[in-house]
Amino acid sequence: MSDLLPLREGHVKMRQIKISDSARASINREAKRSYDGLETGGILLGTETRNGNIIIRHAGDPGPGAQRGQNTFLRDLEHAQKLAQTAWNTDKSEWIGEWHTHPSGPLSPSSVDLHSYLRHLHDRELAFARFVAIIACIDSSDRTTIATWLIDRKHIQQIKMEKLNDTEL
């Protein structure tokens, strides 16, 4: 993996990232499983618009074969592939990223997370130009806080996520 460039904070072309209510609800619901101190997560499915904005329509769950640890999460790949196929058949949504929890914070990617994102970005078969990462945390008042990151091969940038309007679905 020495051919992977280290990410640095920088200015990726400013884009908007919007999320549907149902995707946000899926993240909120699943994130509560992290009360047990273990990470959880899933894939993000949506599209990139012609002007480079990103629409998140669906957020997957981890799947029955997922591996959850205190500082690690590995999704069930077969389950994720089925979710991606269903989303494609439904509305042409594609795999655009992943979300996961950090039960004890922080809301920024760990070095393990960054390495994983770089592997995805450098995998020719996956053909990612950009990767959306959402990190979620549940606070003591049962509220989910999230941070959204846009990663390309050289930069990482935190981007404020906005609610997707029904007309944009």
Whether the CB-CB separation of 83 and 23 falls below 8 Å is answered with no
Query: Lowest-confidence range among 16-20, 60-64, 142-146?
Result: 142-146
CA atoms within 13 A on the CB side of 139: 7
CA 137 to chain centre: 13
State the Cα angle at 115 between 102 and 15, rounded to 5°.
75
Q: What is the DSSP string of 50-84?
A: TTS-EEEEEE----TT-EE-SS-EE--HHHHHHHH
DSSP secondary-structure letter at 153? S
Ranges of each domain in the chain:
8-168
pLDDT score of 10? 52
Tens digit of each residue's pLDDT (9 = 90 or more) over 34-86: 989 999 999 999 999 888 889 999 999 999 999 999 988 999 999 999 999 99
Cα 3 from Cα 103, distance rounded (Å):
31
pLDDT (tens digit per residue) in 27-44: 999 999 898 999 999 999
Give the pLDDT of residue 9: 54
Residues 47/25, Cβ–Cβ less than 8 Å: no
Q: Return the CATH class of domain 8-168.
A: alpha beta
Q: What is the pLDDT of residue 6?
A: 47
